[in-house]
């Protein structure tokens, strides 16, 4: 380890091991990839604590990284976990086989919905998320430049405050399941056989079924419409609804995508 400070116990465990830095995530976390482990370093935060807690609870329930060690030191948190193998769902190989990709994504969502949530230690229901959204709005933490162009301004909401009040006044009915919380393609891994594992679980917990459907649908769209640079024809994000066996709930899709604009 050069130029990277680690808490002493982790330093002892990782000293000399080769790693590369992963820059795919959008958060401010630093992610170091070792041959069979991954170290996620980020400023101390409730979601970092929640990720460690839910990884422990998920062990044996769904394929996800195993927690090896979680430490906090001088304002930073260090989460060491096992490495998940396979291809990210946004890998070219999968985007070039859209029918298979959509079927696999639906399989991953069904797997989450089949988990018994009665002992889940984390709740991510609408009121929990709205309270966090309110804190972010009141403290000027919403990054408008990272939102969809139509959300704010002409034809959209005037401000994050106005959007928050609309969300608070238009809460859709609640259908709780185990929700990943950031069900976008780089957080879902597939192997040749099926689901390799789900990662980036800091917002996971008991939440509404449509929270993940909305983000999965948007992520599929953004991976083919040029948002991330590449336009791909032949991928229809709406195929996800058929694969899931659900009728699109336009109201919930909109509510969850708008909520995500405040995070
Ligand atoms: N346990 C893991 N196994 C394999 N890859 C991982 C693991 N954790 C993180 N990664 C890789 O690092 C990227 C970013 O990590 P992630 O936890 O998703 O952070 P962010 O919050 O920045 O998106 C992931 O998209 C994935 O490519
Ligand atoms: Mg991620």
Cross-strand bridge partners of residue 225? 231
Distance of CA 81 to CAs 55, 68, 84, 208, Å?
9, 5, 9, 27
Q: Token match 């946004």: residue?
A: 90
Looking from the CA of residue 28, the nearest atom of ligand 1 is 22
Instruction: Spell out the domain ranges in the chain.
Output: 8-82, 87-260
Asked if 244 contacts 110 with a C-beta cutoff of 8 angstroms, the reply is yes
DSSP 57-111: HHTTTSS-PPEEEEEEETTEEEEEEEPP-SEETTSHHHHTSHHHHHHHHHHHHHH
pLDDT at 234: 86
How remote is the CA of residue 186 from the centroid of ligand 1, in Å? 8
Instruction: Bin 153: left if φ > 0, else alpha if -120 < ψ < 50, else beta.
Output: left
Instruction: Bin 148: left if φ > 0, else alpha if -120 < ψ < 50, else beta.
Output: beta
Which protein residue has the closest C-alpha to ligand 1 atom 2? 83
- The closest alpha carbon to 69, from 22, 116, 98, 37, belongs to 37
pLDDT at 39: 98
Which protein residue has the closest C-alpha to ligand 1 atom 1? 83
Q: Which residue of 45, 51, 81, 199 sits with most ligand 1 atoms within 8 Å of its CB, as the best mutation to test the pocket?
A: 199
pLDDT at 42: 97
Residues having CB closer than 6 A to ligand 1 are: 22, 24-27, 29, 31, 38, 40, 65, 81, 83-84, 88, 186-187, 199-200
Asked if 19 contacts 34 with a C-beta cutoff of 8 angstroms, the reply is yes
Helix residue ranges, H only, 115-177: 126-138, 160-169
Which protein residue has the closest C-alpha to ligand 1 atom 20? 25
Give the Cα separation of 207 and 204 in Å (integer): 8
Which protein residue has the closest C-alpha to ligand 1 atom 19? 25
Instruction: Report residues near ion ligand 2: CB below 5 Å.
Output: 25, 187, 200
How remote is the CA of residue 201 from the centroid of ligand 2, in Å? 8
Instruction: Please say whether the structural domain 8-82 has been given the CATH code 3.40.1010.10.
Output: no
Give the Cα separation of 161 and 143 in Å (integer): 13
Give the Cα separation of 216 and 65 in Å (integer): 20
Q: Which residue of 25, 204, 228, 263 sits with most ligand 1 atoms within 8 Å of its CB, as the best mutation to test the pocket?
A: 25
pLDDT at 4: 86
Which ligand has its closest atom nearest to the C-alpha of 202? 1
Superfamily of the domain at 87-260: Aminoglycoside phosphotransferase (APH), C-terminal lobe (3.90.1200.10)
Is the model's pTM score more than 0.85? yes
Q: Give average pLDDT by consecutive 10-residue segment, the chain, 263 residues.
A: 82 94 88 97 96 98 98 97 97 96 98 98 98 98 95 96 98 98 98 97 98 98 92 94 98 98 97
Residue 5: partners with Cβ closer than 8 Å, 6 or more residues away = none
Longest CA–CA separation in the chain, Å:
56
Looking from the CA of residue 37, the nearest atom of ligand 1 is 1
């Amino acid at each position: 380890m050069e130029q990277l400070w680690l808490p002493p116990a982790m330093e002892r465990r990782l000293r000399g091991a080769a790693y590369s830095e992963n820059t795919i995530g959008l958060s401010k976390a630093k992610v170091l990839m070792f041959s069979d482990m991954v170290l996620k370093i980020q400023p101390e935060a409730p979601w970092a604590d929640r990720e460690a807690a839910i990884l422990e609870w998920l062990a044996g329930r769904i394929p996800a990284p195993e927690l090896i060690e979680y430490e906090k030191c001088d304002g930073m948190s260090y989460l060491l976990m096992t490495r998940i193998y396979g291809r990210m769902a946004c890998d070219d190989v999968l985007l070039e086989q859209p029918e298979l990709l959509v079927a696999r994504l639906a399989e991953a969502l069904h797997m989450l919905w089949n988990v018994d949530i009665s002992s889940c230690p984390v709740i991510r229901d609408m009121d929990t998320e709205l309270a966090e959204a309110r804190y972010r709005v009141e403290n000027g933490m919403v990054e408008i430049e990272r939102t969809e162009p139509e959300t704010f301004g002409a034809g959209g909401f005037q401000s994050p405050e106005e959007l928050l009040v609309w969300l608070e006044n238009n809460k859709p009915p609640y259908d709780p399941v185990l929700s990943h919380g950031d069900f976008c393609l780089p957080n879902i891994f597939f192997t040749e056989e099926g689901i390799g594992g789900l990662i980036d679980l800091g917002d996971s917990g008991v939440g509404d079924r449509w929270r993940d459907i909305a983000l999965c649908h948007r992520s599929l769209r953004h991976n083919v419409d040029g948002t991330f640079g590449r336009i791909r024809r032949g991928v229809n994000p709406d195929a996800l609804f058929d694969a899931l066996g659900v009728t699109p709930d336009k109201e919930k899709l909109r509510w969850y995508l708008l909520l995500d604009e405040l995070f």
